[in-house]
Amino acid sequence: MTKNNGLHGKTSPPIAMNKRMKDIMTEYYIEAKTAYQTGKKVAWITSGGPVEPLIALDIIPVYPENHGAMIGASKMGADLCERAEAMGYSGDLCSYARADIASAVIDGGPIGGLPRPDMLVACNNICGTVIKWYEALARYFQAPLFIFDTPMCHRDYHQESKDYVMKQVLELIAFLEEASGAKFDYDRMSEVGRLSIEAQHLWKEVLDTAMERPSPMTAFDGFYHLALIVTLRGKAVTVEYYRELLAEMKERVALGIGAVQNERYRLMWDNLPIWYRLKWLSRKFAEHDAALVADTYNTAWCRSLRYIDENDFLGSMAEGYSRMYLNLAVDQMAESIIEMAGKYSIDGLVMHSNRSCKPYSFGQYDIQRMVRERLGIPCMMIESHMVDERSFSEAQAETRIDAFMELIMEREK
Amino acid sequence: MPAILPRIKEKRIFMNTLDQFLAAAEHPERYAAKLKSEGASIIAFLCSYTPEELIHAAGLHPMRLFGTRGPIMRADGHLQAYCCSLARGTLEQALAGDLSFLDGAVFPHTCDTIQRLSDIWRLNTSFGFFADVVLPVKLDSKSAQDYFADVLGRFKAELEEWTGREITEDSLRRSIETFNAVRSSLERLYRLRSADPGIMAGSRMAAVIRGSMIMDRNELPGMLDRLIEEAESGIYREPPGKDKKRLILSGGICDHPDFYTALEDSGGVVAWDDLCTGSRFFNGTTETSGNLPAALARRYSRRLICPAKHLSTTARAERLLEIVREHRADGVIFFLLKFCDPHAFDYPWLKEFLEKHNVPNTLIEVEHQLPPEGQLKTRLETFIQTL
Ligand code: SF4
Ligand code: SF4
C-alpha cells in the first residue's frame, strides 16, 4: 500500500490484517518446505483445483500460481521468464508457467523454489495451459499427475459433464490415497468441506464491503488477501482470518475510512493483476480519486458457492468446480460483469489484456462492447504479461489511464 | 526448369484426379459453391477431433477451415494480436463474408483459443447451426471414454434436431465406413510416398490431404483409389532429386504448399508428418459394430495424440520417435504457428527427447504467412547441411 505523503496518490493507512496474512503465509511456506522432515506429503495443485480432499488427507497443497504471483510481485518474473525462454519455452506462453518451470529447475524465486511435489493435481477449469504446465512438471519431478477434467460449460451445464466430474472426484480420492499412503476419512472431509464453504462465504462478505461508499478496500487489496482462500481453503485458520478481516473492513466502513481518500469514481478491474505494477497502478488511479472496488478475479473464489451443498460437499463440488468463471462462455462472463457493475456502482471498466492468459483475455473486446451497450460506461485496456515486466509499457499505460479518467470525469459532469 | 514441361503434359491428360484435389484445396469457396448448387448444407470445423462422421451421417457436408493468408482486419476487433493466426484468420473470413456458403459450424474442445473463438463466433455470426462439442481433455480413463461417447450422443441429437432427421444406425455405420476408407487410402498414399518420395511432390500430397477435408466424402474413396493407382503408375512423378534428406514435419497445421517446395528445393523432403493436416487426421480406424458413438470415441482417443489432449506425459514424444524410426528419417522440423500454446508447451520437451535419441531437429515458427522465401530457404538449407 502506498503511504499518503500528500504528494502522490491519496490512499488510506494500510489494512492491519496485512501483517497477519504475511505471518500465515510464511508459516505455511515453512511447513511446506520442511515437509520432507516432518514426513508430510506435498501436492502441487492449480488455483481452481479441488483442494479440499487434499486437506482432508493432511496433504500440503502448494500452488505454483501463488508462487508465480510472488515472483511477479517481487519483480523476479522477467529473469525467470527469460530463463524459461532459454530452455525453449516461447515468450508467448503464460508467464506463471514460464516463471515457475524455470524456478523449479534452479530453485529460484523469492523463497528459493517450492518444495518438491509428491504428486500433482491439475484442474483445467481455468485453462488448458495448466495441463501442459503440469505435464512438464510431472516429467521433471517424476511425480504422479492427476488431471481433474472439468468440461467447459460455455452456456450450459450438462448432466453428462456432471457425471464425468463426479466420477473423477472418486478417482481423485483413490489417486491421493495411493500417492500419500493415507486412508481417506469421509467424516474429516465433511468438516473440511464445511470450513471451505464458510471461508468462501466470509471472503464474499469481505468483497461485498466494497459496495460501501467509500469502499474500505480495493481490488488491489483483495489480490493480496486472496492468498488464503486460494491456498488454504478448508482450514480453520482461513476461516478465522477472514472473520477478522471482515471485522476490520466493517470497522473501516463504520469509521468512513475509504481505501482511496476522496473516493469519487468507482472502477472495476478485469483479469489477473499485473503483479509487478500493483502499487504503481493503485497510486495512478488514486491520483484521479478513483478506487478499483470490484473485479472478476477475487470473486472467482466465491462465485461457485451457489452450486455447493453445505451438507454434501463431495457430492456437489463437481458442479462448483466446473462452473468457475473462466469455464463459462464470453457472454456469460459479460453478464457477470454487468451484474457486478450494478452491484458495486461502477463508473468504468479497466480490462487487463493479459498476454499470459488467453482464456481470460480473448473475448474481452466483445465483453467491452456488451458493457458499453448495456451500461454506457467507459472501458479501457492495458496490455501486459502478468509476471513478465518486460511486457509492460508504463508510458502507454499512463496515457491510457489519464485519457480514460478524463472520459469518466466528463460523464460525471 | 526442365520439370515444367512434363508437368504441363500430365495436367492435360489427368485433369480429373490430382487436379481436382489441387483445385479444391486452392479454392475451397468455389468448391463449396458447387456443392451448394447441388443442394448441400455445409458445416465448418477447425479441428481434427471433429466427429465428421456424425455430421456426414446427418446428411450434412463437413468442411474444414484453414484461415486466410490475406490481411486480418475485422478480426482485430474481437481477438487480440497475440491470438494464433488460425483463429484470427478464420474469424476474419467469417466476418468478411467469405464464408457465406456455410450453414453452420461446430467447435470441438481443443485449446483455450478455440474455446473463446467458439463464443466469439456464436456472438458475431449467424450461420444457422452452431454446436460446442466439449470433448474430454484427458483420454486415458474409462470415465473420460464414457463421457466422450455421451458428448457425441448429445452432438448427434443436436444435429438431428436441427435437420429434423434421425441419424440412423445404418447411416452412421455407412459414414464411418466412408471415413475409414478415406483415412486408410490417405495412409496408403503416405506410405507409398514414404517408400518413394519422388512419387508425388510434397505440395501436392498436402493438397490431397487438405482436399480430403473439403471435398464430397461420398466421392472421395473412389477418387483416392484412382489417385493411388495413377501415382503408382508414375504419372505424378517428380524428377528424381538426388540424396534428399528425409524429414518429419511435426506441429499443428501446415497450410503452406510453398513450404514443401522450399524444402524440396533445399535438399529435403517430408517423408512423413505429425500434423493435424496430416497423419493425425488419418491415423486409426473406427470399428463399425457395437455402440457406434462409443466406437468413434475410441478411435478419436487412440489416434495420434494432439498436444491439446492428455494421454500420458510422454506419449507424444514416444510416438514421434517411433515415426522417425519407422520412416528412417534424418531429422525433424517443428513447424509451429506463433501463439499456439499447446504446441509451444510441448516443443522444449520434444526437442530434448529427440536430442537424447540423436535425432537432429529445428524449429520454424510461422504466422499466417511463411517467412520470406530467401530467409526460409537459408534456414532449411543450413539445417539440411548439418544432417
Ligand atoms: S494465468 Fe491463465 S493461462 Fe496462466 S495458469 Fe492462470 S488461468 Fe492458466
Ligand atoms: S491448437 Fe494452436 S493453432 Fe490450433 S487453434 Fe489452438 S492455438 Fe490456434
Q: Ligand 2 pocket test: which of B66, B90, B92, B111 has the largest number of ligand atoms within 8 Å of its C-beta?
A: B111
Residue B281's DSSP bridge partners are: none
Give mean pLDDT in consecutive 10-residue pieces for chain B, a chain of 387 residues. 42 69 95 95 96 98 93 96 96 96 96 97 96 96 97 98 97 98 97 95 96 97 96 88 90 90 95 95 95 96 93 95 97 97 97 98 91 92 95
How far is A170 from A186, CA to CA, in rounded Å?
A: 12
By CB atoms closer than 10 A (0-12, 13-18, 19+), residue B381 is middle
- Quick one: cell of A5? 505523503
Determine whether the interchain pair B119/A329 forms a contact, defined as Cβ–Cβ distance below 8 Å. Answer: yes
Model pLDDT, residue A2: 39
Nearest ligand to the C-alpha atom of residue A101:
1
Q: What is the 3-state secondary structure (H, E, C) of chain B?
A: CCCHHHHHHHHHHCCCCHHHHHHHHHCHHHHHHHHHHCCCCEEEECCCCCCHHHHHHCCCEEEECCCCCCCCCHHHHCCCCCCCHHHHHHHHHHHCCCCCCCCEEEEECCCHHHHHHHHHHHHHCCCCEEEEECCCCECCCHHHHHHHHHHHHHHHHHHHHHHCCCCCHHHHHHHHHHHHHHHHHHHHHHHHHHHCHHHCCHHHHHHHHHHHCCCCCCCHHHHHHHHHHHHHHCCCCCCCCCCCEEEEEEECCCCCHHHHHHHHHCCEEEEEEECCCCHHHHCCCCCCCCCHHHHHHHHHHHCCCCCCCECCCCHHHHHHHHHHHHCCCCEEEEEEECCCHHHHHHHHHHHHHHHHCCCCEEEEEECCCCCCHHHHHHHHHHHHHCC
Residue B132's domain comprises 27-164
Model pLDDT, residue A9: 54
Give me the half-sphere count of Cα atoms (radius 13 Å) on the Cβ side of residue B266: 27
Model pLDDT, residue B347: 98
Radius of gyration of chain A (CA): 21
- Quick one: cell of A124? 483445467
By CB atoms closer than 10 A (0-12, 13-18, 19+), residue A307 is middle
Pocket of ligand 1 (CB under 6 A): A 65, 94, 96-97, 126-127, 129-130, 272, 356-357, 360
How far is B65 from B105, CA to CA, in rounded Å?
A: 10
Q: Which atom of ligand 2 is nearest to the CA of B276?
A: 4
pLDDT tens, chain A, 413 aa long? 334 444 345 677 889 999 999 999 999 999 999 999 999 999 999 999 999 999 999 999 999 999 999 999 999 999 999 999 999 999 999 999 999 999 999 988 999 999 999 999 999 999 999 999 999 999 999 999 999 999 999 999 999 999 999 999 999 999 999 999 999 999 999 999 999 999 999 999 999 999 999 999 999 999 999 999 999 999 999 999 999 999 999 999 999 999 998 999 999 999 999 999 999 999 999 999 999 999 999 999 998 899 999 999 999 999 999 999 999 999 999 999 999 999 999 999 999 999 999 999 999 999 999 999 999 999 999 999 999 999 999 999 999 999 999 999 998 77
B313 touches chain A (CB under 8 A): yes
Residue B140 lies in a domain: yes
Determine whether the interchain pair A164/B146 forms a contact, defined as Cβ–Cβ distance below 8 Å. Answer: yes
The DSSP output letter for A115 is: P
Nearest ligand to the C-alpha atom of residue B116:
2
Residue B112 lies in a domain: yes
Residue B136 lies in a domain: yes
A138 touches chain B (CB under 8 A): yes
Q: Nearest CA of chain B to the CA of A355: how many Å? A: 7
How far is B186 from B66, CA to CA, in rounded Å?
A: 19
SS3 A60: strand
B348 touches chain A (CB under 8 A): yes
Of A18, A32, A64, A31, the C-alpha closest to A45 is A64
CATH of the domain at B153: 3.40.50.11890
Taking only the tens place, the pLDDT of each residue in A304-358 is 899 999 999 999 999 999 999 999 999 999 999 999 999 999 999 999 999 999 9
B123 touches chain A (CB under 8 A): yes
SS3 A123: strand
Q: Nearest CA of chain A to the CA of B80: how many Å? A: 7
Residue B332 lies in a domain: no
Determine whether the interchain pair B342/A132 forms a contact, defined as Cβ–Cβ distance below 8 Å. Answer: yes
Model pLDDT, residue A108: 87
Our CA angle for A187, A189, A192, nearest 5°, is 120
Residue B334 lies in a domain: no
- Quick one: cell of B205? 500430397
Taking only the tens place, the pLDDT of each residue in A269-292 is 999 999 999 999 999 999 999 999
One-letter identity of residue A190: S
> Could you tell me if A406 and A288 are in contact, meaning their C-beta atoms sit under 8 angstroms apart?
no
A331 touches chain B (CB under 8 A): yes
Determine whether the interchain pair A128/B341 forms a contact, defined as Cβ–Cβ distance below 8 Å. Answer: yes
Hunting for cell 461457485 — which residue is that?
A304
Residue B314 lies in a domain: no
Residue B366's DSSP bridge partners are: B337
Cα B246 to ligand 2 centre (Å)? 27
Residue B32 lies in a domain: yes
Is any atom of ligand 2 closer than 6 Å to the C-beta of B87?
A: yes
Q: What ranges do the domains of chain A cover? A: 18-186, 188-412
How far is B103 from B97, CA to CA, in rounded Å?
A: 13
How far is A150 from A108, CA to CA, in rounded Å?
A: 32
Our CA angle for B260, B265, B267, nearest 5°, is 100
Name the residue in chain B with its Cα closest to that of A141. Answer: B313
Closest CB to B79 among A136, A359, A362:
A362
Residue B147 lies in a domain: yes
The DSSP output letter for A259 is: S
One-letter identity of residue B67: G
| DSSP code string of A376-387 | ---EEEEEEBTT
Helix (H) or strand (E) holding A293: strand A290-295
Q: Ligand 2 pocket test: which of B50, B72, B84, B365 has the largest number of ligand atoms within 8 Å of its C-beta?
A: B84
B141 touches chain A (CB under 8 A): yes
Q: What is the pTM of this model?
A: 0.95
ipTM at complex level: 0.95
Of A285, A272, A298, A130, the C-alpha closest to A204 is A298
The DSSP output letter for A61 is: E
Cα A264 to ligand 2 centre (Å)? 44
Our CA angle for A392, A396, A398, nearest 5°, is 100
Distance of CA B191 to the CA centre of its chain: 17
Integer angstrom CA distances of residue A35 from A114, A138, A184: 11, 19, 20
Options 3.40.50.11900, 3.40.50.300, 3.40.50.12280, 3.30.930.10; CATH for A188-412 is: 3.40.50.11900
Is-same-fold flag (A18-186; A188-412)? yes
Determine whether the interchain pair A365/B137 forms a contact, defined as Cβ–Cβ distance below 8 Å. Answer: no
Model pLDDT, residue A60: 97
SS3 A412: helix
How far is A397 from B318, CA to CA, in rounded Å?
A: 46
Options 3.40.50.11890, 3.10.290.10, 3.40.190.10, 3.90.1010.10; CATH for A18-186 is: 3.40.50.11890
- Interface probe, candidates B110, B134, B356, chain A, greatest A C-beta count within 10 A: B134
For B214, phi and psi rounded to 5 degrees? -115, -40
Integer angstrom CA distances of residue A91 from A87, A130, A213, B102: 11, 16, 42, 36
- Interface probe, candidates B119, B121, B150, B314, chain A, greatest A C-beta count within 10 A: B119
Model pLDDT, residue B3: 39
Q: Which spans in A257-312 are helix H?
A: 278-287
Radius of gyration of chain B (CA): 20
How far is A78 from A10, CA to CA, in rounded Å?
A: 30
